[in-house]
């Protein structure tokens, strides 16, 4: 029996639509289909983490008529797979003739020519956007279980996970939908940070754990009503061990991915205050007991408890920070946040270098509020997995509101403030489903 021709098709396939079907049907005309399915890592490098993980997407595709094999495509670039497999044909939509994909197209054409293969292009299906379909899918069908598990998938898939503070639904909508294009990649925020500082400030209260957890979780639930990305919750000290266990159950049930608790004791005060001499750090063994109690209380494997180390904040040594990190990881902490109020990242980089010698795979979290000149590239190079921009949305909103208030008072009307404002249409367009 004569060997059938092989046809290579590269897909993300996070949301199957009739455009994908057209490509597969066309490919079937030329031979046996090998699908190069982009891994979660490959997709996340260029756009949002896929709604379905690699294995889920593979199970769907392998059942399509004509598909003989589904293999991993580990890069956005098809070249390696095409060169290795040497397919007789490659089938693709013609939408990659322009934009950043045109570079990949040229490389593929060169490889096909060298190996005697042929490119088959079919007209792009107009009116279909996979990204838009997936975004809509997220908006209407995200469940607490799915949302909760995204953080771990992000850590596995991305060099660094980017989290932005969100203190209300509007700030979360902005964080969810703000993107820039960098080197052909769609860059955005991966999730939200629920900060005790911004939550208490929004209510006109001091940042000392005086805001009830139930009030804060109400705000989180409101954010979850209109978004789909995961959230990390700032749980301050976590409170008493007995109370922390109950907090974990409530937070996890809502769909929060992780809590971060800090190893201070007594009346909680903000770590970035100039005077920290009257702040005290919890005994590391006692704090470890709190971590163990929290881990015992959680119900799912996806939920994470991250220990925040305050040693540098309180003027203690690198050794103290590392000893605490070891104790907390051995107690079951799923990650470590090392905090610093230094204006440069030297001490946290010293910590991460030594920490990584013993713990290669434990996630590290950076909150560069004081050392804000550091770039994400440097954090990656120094072993960090998550960066949290912890209070910037609230800090941006207050100067803007104060400026407008002053202009109205000064001029006795609002016209002069118009240039500082969104139009009513802008506001209406921001909120999906608003009729105007």
Q: What is the pLDDT of residue 135?
A: 54
pLDDT at residue 436, rounded to an integer:
47
Cα separation, 432 vs 416, in Å, equals 29
| Catalytic residue (choose from 190, 207, 236, 263) | 207
Is residue 37 within 8 Å of 72, Cβ to Cβ?
Answer: yes
Q: Is 415 exposed, middle or buried (0-12, 13-18, 19+ CB in 10 A)?
A: exposed
Told to judge if 199 belongs to the known catalytic residues of this protein, a careful annotator would answer: no
* Residues above pLDDT 70, as percent of the chain: 93
Query: In whole angstroms, what is the distance from residue 217 CA to residue 24 CA?
Result: 46
User: Is beta strand 280-281 parallel, antiparallel or unpaired with respect to 264-265?
Assistant: antiparallel
Residue of 393, 383, 388 lying closest to 372 (CA atoms): 388
Residues β-bridged to residue 119: 90
The CA R_g of the chain, rounded to the nearest whole Å, is: 25
Residue 355: both structure tokens together: 């920490």
DSSP 418: G
Rounded Cα distance, 282 and 159, in Å: 32
Residues 6+ apart with CB under 8 A from 129: none
CA 28/CA 10 separation, integer angstroms: 14
- Decide if pLDDT at 2 tops 70: no
Ranked by mean pLDDT, the top range of 76-85, 115-124, 324-333, 425-434 is 324-333
State the average pLDDT for the chain. 91
Over the stretch 321-355, which tens digit does the pLDDT of each residue have? Answer: 999 999 999 999 999 999 999 999 999 999 999 99
Compute the half-sphere exposure of residue 329: CA atoms within 13 Å on the CB side of its CA: 19
Structural domains present in the chain: 6-130 (3.40.50.620), 142-390 (3.20.20.60), 396-430 (no CATH)
Q: Could you report the per-residue pLDDT of 345-385, keeping only the tens digit for each?
A: 999 999 999 999 999 999 999 999 999 999 999 999 999 99
Higher pLDDT, residue 180 or 133: 180
Q: Quick check: 183 pLDDT over 90?
A: no
Average pLDDT over residues 143-163: 95
For range 127-147, the mean pLDDT: 63
Which residues lie below 8 Å from residue 301, measured CB to CB, with a gap of 6+?
none
């Amino acid at each position: 029996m004569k060997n059938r021709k092989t046809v290579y098709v590269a897909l993300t396939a996070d949301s199957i639509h009739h455009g994908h079907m057209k490509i597969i049907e066309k490919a079937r005309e030329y031979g046996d289909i090998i699908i190069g399915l982009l891994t979660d890592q490959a997709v996340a490098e260029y756009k949002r983490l896929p709604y379905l993980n690699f294995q889920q997407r593979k199970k769907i595709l392998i059942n399509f008529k004509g598909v003989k094999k589904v293999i991993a495509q580990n890069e956005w670039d098809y070249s390696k797979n095409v060169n290795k497999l040497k397919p007789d044909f490659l089938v693709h939509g013609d939408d990659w003739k322009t934009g950043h994909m045109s570079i990949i197209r040229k490389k593929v054409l060169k490889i096909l020519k060298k190996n005697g293969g042929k490119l088959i292009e079919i007209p792009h299906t107009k009116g279909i956007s996979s990204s838009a379909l997936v975004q809509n899918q997220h908006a209407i069908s995200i469940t607490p279980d799915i949302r909760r598990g995204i953080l771990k998938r992000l850590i596995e898939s991305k060099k660094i996970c980017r989290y932005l503070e969100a203190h209300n639904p509007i700030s979360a909508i902005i964080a969810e939908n703000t993107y820039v294009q960098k080197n052909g990649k769609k860059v955005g925020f991966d999730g939200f940070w629920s900060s005790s500082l911004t939550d208490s400030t929004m209510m006109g209260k001091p940042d000392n754990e005086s805001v009830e957890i139930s009030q804060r979780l109400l705000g989180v639930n409101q954010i979850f009503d209109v978004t789909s990305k995961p959230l990390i919750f700032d749980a301050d000290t976590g409170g008493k061990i007995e109370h922390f266990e109950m907090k974990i159950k409530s937070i996890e049930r809502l769909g929060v991915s992780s809590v971060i608790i800090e190893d201070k004791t007594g009346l909680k005060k903000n770590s970035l205050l100039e005077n920290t001499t009257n702040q005290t750090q919890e005994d590391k063994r006692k704090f470890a007991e709190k971590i163990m109690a929290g881990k015992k209380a959680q119900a799912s494997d996806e939920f994470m408890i991250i220990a925040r180390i305050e040693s540098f904040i309180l003027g203690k040594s690198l050794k103290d920070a590392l000893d605490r990190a070891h104790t907390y990881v051995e107690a079951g902490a799923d990650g470590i946040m090392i905090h610093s109020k230094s204006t440069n990242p030297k001490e946290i980089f010293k910590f991460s270098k030594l920490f990584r010698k013993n713990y290669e795979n434990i996630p590290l979290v950076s909150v560069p509020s004081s050392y804000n000149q550091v770039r994400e590239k440097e954090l990656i190079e120094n072993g960090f997995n998550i960066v949290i921009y912890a209070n910037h949305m609230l800090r941006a909103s207050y100067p803007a509101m104060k400026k407008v208030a002053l202009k109205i008072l000064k001029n006795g009307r609002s016209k002069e403030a118009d240039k500082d404002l969104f139009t009513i249409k802008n506001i209406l367009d921001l909120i999906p489903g608003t009729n105007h």
